[in-house]
Amino acid sequence: MSRKPVHLAVYDTYADWETGHATAYLARAGYEIRTAGPSREPVTSIGGLRVQPACALDDVRPSGSSLLILPGADLWDAGDDLAPFARKAREFLDAGVPVAAICGATVGLAREGLLDDREHTSAISFYLAATGYGGGERYVDADAVTDRGLITAGPTEPVAFAREIFQLLGVYDGEVLDAWYRLFHDSDAEAYAVLEKAQASG
């Protein structure tokens, strides 16, 4: 089955560990992962990885994408350099295409007003409250939250973040999704057999 690509936003200081589970297993499920930067100039992650974006953010269209993933980055807290990525998230959501934001990217979405009317989570409630956003009553103290096409998670929950993405896109569901989460989050060796069986029959 042909699938539209998943777009992974990349920018200087992006947190390279926050999206690895999601992108690796999306790729295994047949999704092309396309990196989108502020331009096509190389960017450098917090971990020092130098990445050449496949495309510039301005060239990304919701109609050509399955999902936009926004990782955290020091730059989300340092000013408005990444505001165009939050505006792109609005464009995606308005078009009915999902967005997944983790860690500092949730602050960008709060400033953009995208969390005012959706349940969401982040690192901690007062991290978002400092933006002055209007969605404080909708903050949920959970590992990851999905509401109307928007996934949010805190910086310590890359596995839960991936779980929500897989469920939303239909990559895994039911006991297979639960087993994937238990294996990578809880190191539950018994979950491996469930995944192995599912892959053999898939």
Residues noted as catalytic:
103
87-117 burial: b if 16+ Cβ within 10 Å, else e: ebbeebbeeebbbbbbbbbbbbbbbbebbee
Closest CA to 100 of 51, 66, 140, 74: 66
Show the tokens assigned to 8: 């992974």
Decide: 100 and 109 in contact? Cβ < 8 Å: no
C-alpha Rg value of the chain to the nearest Å: 16
Strand order of the sheet with strand 144-147?
Answer: 55-56, 33-37, 6-9, 67-70, 99-102, 150-153, 144-147
